[in-house]
Chains A and B, each alone.
Chain A
Amino acid sequence: MSGEIDLRAIKDLLVIIKDISELMIDLAYTSLLYFNKEIAEEVFFLEERMDKLNYKLKLITLRAARSEEPEKLMAILEIADAVERVADASLKIAENVFRKEIHPVFVDAMKEADEIIIKETVNKNSKMIGKTVKELKIKTNTGMHIFLVKRGNEYIYRLDNLRFKENDIIFAEGPEDGKKEIEELLGKESVSDL
């Protein structure tokens, strides 16, 4: 019985760990290309979280081995190890942002030189509250692409069905002139560049 609970916990952890590892890689390169400390700090934060999740995953996996065939659980430990290395590597990439200046090669590698990245809060009076990205046609209307939403400590990047709430923090990239438009949606007095 407890074996089955553990298996479910393993599955849940695997889904989270998979998502976080992919997010870390994206954020690490994003922080480097935009030379953005705030995004780099998210990578640091995620790495710590990943450590804890990985520890938990290994622990539950070992516990599950009491009632399940250990052989069928080995792969989980392999994944945990590999993911730890991915997290460390992402951290290494993001760390470069804390140097004095960005290497020109990374600047050159940016897709659109005039693109900016913003991290902003959805305000109380925002038109976004209760709506989805699709309903708001954010990309069409503002040119900005929201790639991540942070709600409390939770990161959400499958945004298709997400309905925005007050205090959600959005991460978006796009052309500089899209900033004003998204400001309006956010219901905000002032928006700062990252």
Chain B
Amino acid sequence: MEKEEMNVKDIFTEMKDISELVLDLAYSSVFFDNEEIAEEVKELEERMSELNYKIKAIAMLAARTKEDAENISEILEVASASEEIANAAGDISNIIKRDFKIHPIILQALREAEEKIARVRIKKGSKLVGMKVKESELATAIGEYIISIKRGKKRIYNPDKETVLMEGDILIVRGTEEGEKLLRKICNGELNEWRN
């Protein structure tokens, strides 16, 4: 494990962010039979267990009195509940890795009801490089919402409008089939005019 300085607040915040994201991705991976998204779920699940390990290690060092211990157990409970959420999400997305098949009629109906989650990398030469999320107008112009950005080993959850997009960023987006097609072109540098 890489050395990484985090305090309890940082850890808890990231656990919360992962919990809110991971289940969504898990459902999407199954409903759209998407292994790439299932892979994201797996990574998030691993990250969550790493965070839980970190928070336990910190907690053990911090407990000096009985009162400390009680306070800390509250945090650990929330942490383990968060990990449980990620594990359950992992089990859902595992459905597509195992030989389980969902009845096609059900899948078809679910796909119609759902917005599609996709994973797209920003390549060199894309207009998006160096652009703020706000400027990119991806949501308003093509209906694709960025829900998370993977930048190397780092993840940005719920990026805000001022976040600057970079070459190599992997965007996790929610939108339509059509929007995804356009976004892929934009990220590949094949489409330069999309903004209103």
Contacts and interface: CB of A to CB of B under 8 A. Distances in A.
A107 B34 CA distance: 37
Interface in A66-86: 68-69, 71-76, 78-79, 81-83, 85-86
Main secondary structure of the interface of A (DSSP, over half): helix
B101 A21 contact: no
A79 B71 CA distance: 34
A8 B101 CA distance: 17
A68 B12 contact: no
Contacts of A7: 103, 105-106
Interface string A160-187: 0000000000000000000000000000
Nearest to B19: A25
Contact of B81 (A4, A76, A78, A90): A90
Interface stretch (B89-97, B132-140, B171-179): B89-97
User: Which of B82, B91, B92, B103 has most chain A Cβ within 10 Å?
Assistant: B103
B95 A75 contact: yes
Interface in A106-123: 106, 108-109
B77 A105 contact: no
Contact of B74 (A15, A26, A71, A99): A99
Q: Which range contains the number of B residues in contact with the other chain?
A: 35 or more
B81 A22 contact: no
Interface stretch (B22-30, B123-131, B146-154, B185-193): B22-30
A93 B81 contact: yes
B166 interface: no
A18 interface: yes
Contact of A93 (B13, B24, B30, B78): B78
Contacts of A159: none
Contacts of A93: 78, 81-82
Contact of B85 (A11, A15, A89): A89
Contacts of B78: 32, 92-93, 96, 106
A155 interface: no
B55 to A, nearest CB: 10
B60 interface: no
A96 B73 CA distance: 11
Contact of A75 (B23, B82, B101): B101
A144 interface: no
A96 B87 CA distance: 21
Contacts of A72: 101-104
Contacts of A90: 81, 85
User: Which of A8, A73, A109 has most chain B Cβ within 10 Å?
Assistant: A109
Contact of B110 (A11, A81, A92, A108): A11
A29 B89 contact: no
A133 interface: no
A103 interface: yes
B167 interface: no
Contacts of B169: none
Interface of B: 8-9, 12-13, 16, 19-20, 23-24, 26-27, 30, 71, 74-75, 77-78, 81-82, 84-85, 87-89, 91-92, 95, 100-106, 109-110, 113
